[in-house]
Amino acid sequence: MPVDISLNVNGKAVSAQVEDRTLLVELLRENLRLTGTHVGCDTSQCGACVVHVDGRSVKACTMLARQAQGAAVTTIEGLAEDGKLHPMQEAFRENHGLQCGFCTPGMVMSALDLVARNPDPSGAEVREWLEGNLCRCTGYHNIVKSILAGANAMRGGS
Amino acid sequence: MAENGIGAAVPRTEDHRFLTGTGDYTDDTNLPHQTYAAFVRSTHPHATFTLDTSAAAAAPGVVAVLTGADFAADGKGSLICGWAVTGKDGEPHKAPPHPVLAADTVRHVGDAMAIVVAESARAARDAAEQVEVDYSPLPAVASMREALADGAPQIHAEAPGNLCYDWEIGDRAATDEAFARAHHVTRLDLVNNRLIPNAMEPRAAIGDYNPASGNYTLRLTSQNPHVHRLVLAAFVQIAPEHKLHVIAPDVGGGFGSKIFIYQEETAVLWAAGRIGRPVKWTADRSESFVADAHGRDHESHVELALDADGRFLGLRVSTLANMGAYLSTFASCVPSYLYGTLMQGQYTTGAIYCEVKAVFTNTTPVDALRGAGRPEATYVVERIVDRAAHETGIDPAELRRRNFIPSDAFPYPTQVALEYDSGNYALALDRALELADYAGFDARRAEAGARGKLRGIGLSAYIEACGIAPSQVVGSLGAGVGLWESGGIRFNPTGNVLVYTGSHSHGQGHETTFAQLVSDYLGVPFENVEVVHGDTEKTPFGMGTYGSRSLAVGGSALVKAMDKVIAKGRKIAAFSLEASEEDVEFSGGDFTVAGTDKRMNIAEVAFSAYVPHNYPLDELEPGLEETGFYDPANFTFPAGTHVCEVEVDPETGVTEIVNWVAVDDFGNVINPMIVEGQVHGGVAHGIGQALLEGCTYDAGGQLLTGSFMDYTMPRADDLPDMTVDTTCTPCPHNPLGVKGCGEAGAIAAPAAVMNAVTHALGTSAIDMPATPQAVWRALGSQSQARA
């Protein structure tokens, strides 16, 4: 049963007709061609699909597109401004917080929600927060380092 | 050191696109008129079957339902294993047919029987559910011992007794003799647990066929697009090589699992030809669990003979290796030539004998996974050495040091067919012990004990054979392919450079490392270098990325190409500067004439090469582009010592890794930041194997760990911060002196963890994964034994 939905994605109003079973991640990837949000599993474990819905991190594979009716969604594509990386993105780059890049968008989006809740997390707090984000490449060492550096930069540190 | 040159921790070029969501993974592409595929997979581990596809074919949006019978009717071939291992009896291994779509018999859960092609992914999946499968179940066997037993269900008529091969290496008689004069013999039974690779990007493929040209294109998650093309052309015979274009775009991790030529991409490409439209398939994770080749899965009995001084006289290893239901692309060489050949470890062990039975079972095929044979070998050697240390009362570090191959003994011919080229094992051990404060362990153990925790420390002094490898050697051992690599350098008229490599980057950072190498070697600004990989129509034929080979072999191929560029540039400069070629020198990007101030930058040389208005064309060709092919003289032998320290909570059985030190000798290093990252990831994979990951089948062959909810992947809070350091004995036989770093962590880590855990527990009666339950049980059986 097709449903019409409208929402705001990365600051732009969008509308689409989707099946009632269409997932938010499918709307983003297939309808809007925002392919930075990835699908790494089918059980909501891996976190490659994390986006922000009304400012909070959400696994976009776990939410129906129609549930995002009227919401403000931010994806990885919505972070950099005028070609300049967000400080959290920049921290991942400087600290080699990514290798194959597949989990990276989810990691960055998840990290930003952590920092919104806890601007100065400890390494242990970062590791605990990342429970819902899997990475096979990095061993998390440099992801933790990146998030700590990104949080520091967002606090205005050097 | 140049800012972006060899040895600099240059941030990665590829990161910007990955961080902004603009990477180009296979599933990110949709082609015009594309259709979508779903597979009908066996739910039985072993059965004959018939299919009724009529309802599915009539379902909404369905374009085609194709079966094994259709595939056979088109006269296509089956999947192959590219390495023929010869057994003790002189006979080649048993390689039964591996159908692209099973036609009448399925042999593992997940075996593909039909491909459903439809207008949408959902329609394809919905229709696949409507294919009616009438199974006649056959007895199934998941355990290797049961598969080898008399009366076991037979999986392939071509492999009596389910035996793929019974292989040996080393000198049995000399080893028996060494044991006969042993002062002490240590014995251990070890299980190397089966792992599921789980690269974060599921496999995907888009097949396309152009009826106008007769050309096929396959875009897929591959670590080796040329190898995919070769096998699909020459063996499966989908299309001839020159009519098949294979693209491996950004690939989200491989770890070995994307080397192999699988059922799905083959069926997708064939189906595209059948229907004349693009066909796309993206695995969901549940499919990955049953359809990606698994790793490891050994059972071994190990014996080490020592003399009165603790010197290793002999090592005897008997291993069962699970092949799963079919021989995957390189499965046969993993528990043989990538395993038995590493039993020398870092030691002067005088006699070695290793025998391996490879066994078919009704489980997903098993093939190379990060380390591939070498983690299994290191686990055998480093566990038994540690056990021997505890039995003899010799400190584990001291026992290792006492038996190390001395640093002045290279090249060192091993008892198991290799020749180690360089190394300094004591240097890495000493550095690791220092960084881990090994001397202070007893105090830390006492302090932990006061808190009710059991503390243990474990070493793993690993070695690996990488840079795979010399074609002559692997050819003599049964490999069906050569294992060289290609590299191309193309100067554009404006002086910037395209670098073509036959290797493939799926997280390793080649776009950065190779650009550093070329920038440094040719004196071209880093930002003027672009690395091209992963496309059979762009790069020269190449063997791809696995076995920590990309820099050692592929980087060396680039050096050969760059040397040709410089040689030609010298001719051009000599002509342009009116000097004799012998007087032209090249350094830092400039050709200079000795004893004069005449100079010409390589960018000017390139421009001249493309604007040859006054060239003596009979002596000098226009253009500045060269290709190199490099086939190494030997493997490379990265080695080092990792130290793991754990605390076990005896109340809960939870093991916490409280410290990790890695000291690795990778030879020369191009980008230390990337190398550290590779070590981190490898160690995490190894810790996952040791503490968390265990693929489990029930006795009948049903996979019990079929999702991330059942199969424990390492998460951030399971892992420690790591201290990573390197030593350096350059590889003497490749032009860069590099050895390779991609697998070291996964090779070293499992033994280090388990040596620490068994040290903490005071018993070696525990296998991987040392989950809280396993630890708790091991402690329980100990206290029962004491009671």
What secondary structure does DSSP assign to B316-347, as a single string? EEEEEEEEESS--TTGGGTTTTTTGGGTTTTB
From chain B, pick out residues whose CB is under 8 angstroms from the CB of A39. 27, 202, 282
According to DSSP H, which parts of B196-284 are helical?
225-234, 263-275
Nearest to B253 among A89, A96, A137 (CB): A137
Residue B753 DSSP label? H
Q: What is the mean pLDDT of chain B?
A: 96
Name the one residue in this structure whose structure tokens are 């052309």. B233
Is A73 a residue whose pLDDT tops 80? Answer: yes
Cis omega (within 30 of 0) for bond into B411: yes
Per the CB < 8 Å rule, is B18 touching A43? no
Q: Does B25 reach chain A within 8 Å, measured CB to CB?
A: yes
Asked whether residue B68 falls in the same domain as residue B94, the answer is: yes
Rounded to whole angstroms, the Cα distance separating B708 from B713 reads 7
Please indicate, yes or no, if residue B477 is contained in any of the structural domains.
Answer: no
| Residue where one domain finishes, among candidates B630, B659, B680 | B630
Rounded to whole angstroms, the Cα distance separating B309 from B348 reads 14
Please indicate, yes or no, if residue B615 is contained in any of the structural domains.
Answer: yes
Task: Give the mutation candidate from A100, A114, A143 for the B interface (greatest B CB count, under 10 A).
Answer: A100
Asked whether residue B317 falls in the same domain as residue B462, the answer is: yes
Please indicate, yes or no, if residue B590 is contained in any of the structural domains.
Answer: yes
Per the CB < 8 Å rule, is A100 touching B707? no
**CATH number where B575 lies:** 3.30.365.10
The whole-number average pLDDT for the span B324-348 is: 97
Instruction: Return the ∠ at Cα B735 (arms to B733 and B737), rounded to 5°.
Output: 70
**Which helix H or strand E contains B283, and what residues bound it?**
none
Is B1 a residue whose pLDDT tops 80? Answer: no
Q: Which residue of B has its CA nearest to A48?
A: B200
The predicted structure's pLDDT at residue B477: 86
From chain B, pick out residues whose CB is under 8 angstroms from the CB of A108. 19
Q: What is the mean pLDDT of chain A?
A: 97
Interface of B with A in 28-87 (CB under 8 A): 28, 30
Could you read off the pLDDT of B240-257 as tens digits, one per residue?
999 999 999 999 999 999
Is B453 a residue whose pLDDT tops 60? Answer: yes
Asked whether residue B95 falls in the same domain as residue B239, the answer is: yes
State how far Cα A46 lies from the chain centre: 12
From chain A, pick out residues whose CB is under 8 angstroms from the CB of B20. 36, 76-77, 79-80, 85, 89
The predicted structure's pLDDT at residue B434: 98
Asked whether residue B540 falls in the same domain as residue B623, the answer is: yes
Asked whether residue B504 falls in the same domain as residue B600, the answer is: yes
Asked whether residue B79 falls in the same domain as residue B213, the answer is: yes
Asked whether residue B215 falls in the same domain as residue B107, the answer is: yes
Please indicate, yes or no, if residue B184 is contained in any of the structural domains.
Answer: no
ipTM at complex level:
0.98
Nearest to A96 among B17, B677, B707 (CB): B677
The whole-number average pLDDT for the span B54-66 is: 98
Q: Which residue of A has its CA nearest to B11?
A: A94
The whole-number average pLDDT for the span B405-424 is: 97
Asked whether residue B303 falls in the same domain as residue B362, the answer is: yes
The predicted structure's pLDDT at residue B785: 64
The whole-number average pLDDT for the span B113-140 is: 98
Rounded to whole angstroms, the Cα distance separating B335 from B119 reads 43
Q: Does B698 reach chain A within 8 Å, measured CB to CB?
A: no
The whole-number average pLDDT for the span B34-61 is: 98
Interface of B with A in 175-204 (CB under 8 A): 198-202
Is B146 a residue whose pLDDT tops 90? Answer: yes
Shortest distance, CA B255 to any CA of chain A (angstroms): 9
Q: Which residue of A has its CA nearest to B28?
A: A35
Shortest distance, CA B778 to any CA of chain A (angstroms): 28
pLDDT range class, residue B351, cuts 50, 70, 90: very high
Is B459 a residue whose pLDDT tops 80? Answer: yes
The predicted structure's pLDDT at residue B787: 57
Please indicate, yes or no, if residue B717 is contained in any of the structural domains.
Answer: yes
| Residue where one domain finishes, among candidates B584, B615, B630 | B630
Please indicate, yes or no, if residue B54 is contained in any of the structural domains.
Answer: yes
The predicted structure's pLDDT at residue A87: 98
From chain B, pick out residues whose CB is under 8 angstroms from the CB of A40. 200-202, 252, 285
Interface of B with A in 109-148 (CB under 8 A): 122
Please indicate, yes or no, if residue B315 is contained in any of the structural domains.
Answer: yes
Rounded to whole angstroms, the Cα distance separating B386 from B399 reads 8
Nearest to B201 among A100, A123, A139 (CB): A100
Asked whether residue B72 falls in the same domain as residue B111, the answer is: yes
Could you read off the pLDDT of B503-548 as tens digits, one per residue?
999 999 999 999 999 999 999 999 999 999 999 999 999 999 988 8
Could you read off the pLDDT of A120-149 as tens digits, one per residue?
999 999 999 999 999 999 999 999 999 999
Per the CB < 8 Å rule, is B677 touching A138? yes
The predicted structure's pLDDT at residue B786: 63
pLDDT range class, residue B469, cuts 50, 70, 90: confident
Dig out the tokens for B344 from the structure: 């020398």
Domain that holds residue B616: 484-630
Shortest distance, CA B708 to any CA of chain A (angstroms): 6
pLDDT range class, residue B26, cuts 50, 70, 90: very high
Residues 6+ away with beta carbon under 8 Å from B628: B486, B487, B488, B557, B558, B559, B560, B561, B562, B563, B564
Nearest to B285 among A43, A101, A124 (CB): A43
Asked whether residue B396 falls in the same domain as residue B505, the answer is: no
From chain A, pick out residues whose CB is under 8 angstroms from the CB of B685. 136, 139
Per the CB < 8 Å rule, is B16 touching A85? yes
Please indicate, yes or no, if residue B58 is contained in any of the structural domains.
Answer: yes
Instruction: Return the ∠ at Cα A60 (arms to A58 and A62), rounded to 5°.
Output: 90
The whole-number average pLDDT for the span B189-203 is: 98
The predicted structure's pLDDT at residue B547: 86
Q: Does B251 reach chain A within 8 Å, measured CB to CB?
A: yes
Shortest distance, CA B341 to any CA of chain A (angstroms): 27
The whole-number average pLDDT for the span A81-107 is: 97
Q: Which domains does chain A have, with CATH numbers?
A: 2-78 (3.10.20.30), 87-154 (1.10.150.120)
From chain B, pick out residues whose CB is under 8 angstroms from the CB of A94. 11
Per the CB < 8 Å rule, is A100 touching B199? yes
Could you read off the pLDDT of B610-638 as tens digits, one per residue?
999 999 988 899 999 999 999 999 999 99
Looking at the structure of chain B, the number of domains it has is 3
Asked whether residue B131 falls in the same domain as residue B213, the answer is: yes
Per the CB < 8 Å rule, is B708 touching A39? no
Per the CB < 8 Å rule, is B681 touching A138? yes
Using a pLDDT cut of 70, give the percent of chain B over it.
Answer: 99
Asked whether residue B661 falls in the same domain as residue B775, the answer is: yes
**CATH number where B63 lies:** 3.90.1170.50
Per the CB < 8 Å rule, is B251 touching A100? yes
Classify B117 as helix, strand or coil.
strand
Shortest distance, CA B89 to any CA of chain A (angstroms): 41
From chain B, pick out residues whose CB is under 8 angstroms from the CB of A124. 717
